[in-house]
Chains A and B, each alone.
Chain A
């Protein structure tokens, strides 16, 4: 790919975002929409800068909940996928249940979780576990099953044990799906934590959001939304970097094409 093409590739979305922000700024300055209802992007950034220390304090809590939940969710997802891959009966029984649980909106269970686990970080962590578990389990299972049957035959002809086949063939084969799942799980985890905080708590970006909403400080509200987006994007970017580090072989062809 030529340099110019490459530049155009990331410039195009940037230009569109810029245009959207300009229109938004124009609309809010023209007074078509009352300023207190839709603050301009500039006001939003000003609010973000003004409240920065406070926002960081709340972010720390939200990130802790998201990180902890993610860690548990990913671990459980991995374990579930491994068990379902090893025992087809478990897969037949468990998989439909997993799919059904995904039709339940997280917002609907969050109040229940608060009833059960009170107002601390526990209900938030549990909700993050619930939303991050599924993309991990499904992605990894698909990855494990993507292995060529002939590869398994070859491994068996070499007298490889089930564990050796899992370790040398299945886990590496699932790495691509693992990271795709992780990218989704990471963004879900931040959003999940914020949603859980809305419904009650002492600290966190979601709690802060409900407070500023009650105070009708919509510029602050938008500042938090912006911050949540930025955090999610940064984390997803981090996953991408991690993926490149962990799977150098997957990017070799890309470099040849450059």
Chain B
């Protein structure tokens, strides 16, 4: 496998991750690198083990072997395998709590860390404009559209305050039109907040539109079989998706996923 990752020091590295459930090997020697500010997609068919990998990276599951390393503020790599709370996690479902207002929902990670309610709310409110949520503070999740709810979920993920975010198919539950709009919005926000992100998807177009690099995850047990760099830098627009470059990339990815 070619290594397309930049020579910049990594912020997150997964090395030789193996995982089995009841004799069934799911992951075999999975390696992932993420540079600061990078947006990297992990592309693979449903059920290949992408979510298992994220559960390991986030510390919800311990790996059978291998290690997860996160860069400290001073740049040294520290193992976080089996420890939660180091990476921010966002799921396909928005997972907003129905009984809390949007303001309280996004402030939840701050509250869990022991911040006072009033302070947590004030801190959360600072980002409402930037995330396109102005005016939604006092609303409950049921009053918001699917797209708005994912915006709130992303803000909550951001407010977890970790250096790396894991996004597990965050837009796949949205209808096509909403998804396109949210993807464009997401690219814009990422330009501003520059959150280093690993992003799971099974949507080839989404992977090409959003990421700097793409890992192809394949096989049973699964591993990263290929890696591509998207030549055109982010942010990209809708027209880009109609370019020759994208067509070529799609053809290449189709062959690689097989």
| Residues of A in contact with B (beta carbons under 8 Å apart) | 148, 150-151, 153-160, 164, 168-169, 172-173, 175, 247-250, 252-253, 256
Contacts and interface: CB of A to CB of B under 8 A. Distances in A.
A247 B98 CA distance: 10
A168 B93 contact: no
Interface in B74-108: 84-85, 87-89, 91, 93, 95, 97-100, 108
A6 B103 CA distance: 34
A160 B100 CA distance: 17
Given A157-B89, A249-B99, A249-B140, A168 B108 contact: yes
B209 interface: no
Contact of A160 (B95, B112, B140, B143): B112
Given A150-B93, A249-B140, A157 B99 contact: no
Where chain B touches its partner, the secondary structure class is loop
B95 A150 contact: yes
Contacts of B44: none
Contact of A154 (B89, B99, B141): B89
7 contacts: A153-B55, A156-B60, A157-B60, A157-B89, A158-B112, A168-B108, A172-B99
Interface string B180-193: 00000000000000
A34 to B, nearest CB: 57
B97 A169 contact: yes
Contacts of A173: 99
A157 B84 contact: yes
A252 B143 contact: yes
A148 B143 contact: no
Contacts of A150: 91, 93, 95
Given A148-B93, A154-B91, A158-B85, A249 B142 contact: yes
A156 B55 CA distance: 11
A175 to B, nearest CB: 7
Interface of B: 55, 58-60, 84-85, 87-89, 91, 93, 95, 97-100, 108-109, 111-113, 140-143, 160
Given A252-B140, A252-B142, A159 B93 contact: no
Given A159-B85, A175-B99, 7 more contacts: A148-B95, A150-B91, A154-B89, A156-B84, A168-B108, A172-B99, A249-B140
Contacts of B89: 153-154, 157-158
A158 B160 contact: yes
A158 B93 contact: no
Contacts of A169: 97
A157 B91 CA distance: 11
Nearest to A155: B112
Contacts of B95: 148, 150-151, 154
Leading 5 A-B pairs by shortest Cβ distance: A159-B85, A157-B89, A172-B99, A249-B140, A157-B58
Given A150-B91, A168-B108, A253-B142, A157 B97 contact: no
Nearest to B143: A252
A212 to B, nearest CB: 48
A164 B97 CA distance: 13
A159 B142 contact: no
Contact of B85 (A153, A154, A157, A252): A157
A159 B91 contact: no
Nearest to A160: B112
B99 A158 contact: no
A148 B93 CA distance: 10
B140 A159 contact: no
Interface centre among A156, A158, A159, A252 (most CB of B within 10 A): A158
Nearest to B159: A158
Nearest to B114: A164
B121 to A, nearest CB: 15
A156 B99 CA distance: 19
A157 B143 CA distance: 26
Contacts of B111: 168
A58 to B, nearest CB: 40
Contacts of A155: 112
A159 B98 contact: no
Interface centre among A160, A173, A247, A250 (most CB of B within 10 A): A160
Contact of A159 (B84, B99, B100, B141): B84
Contacts of A247: 99
Contacts of B98: 172, 249-250
A175 B99 CA distance: 10
A247 B97 CA distance: 13
B198 to A, nearest CB: 13
A248 B83 CA distance: 37
Contacts of B100: 168, 172
Nearest to A246: B99
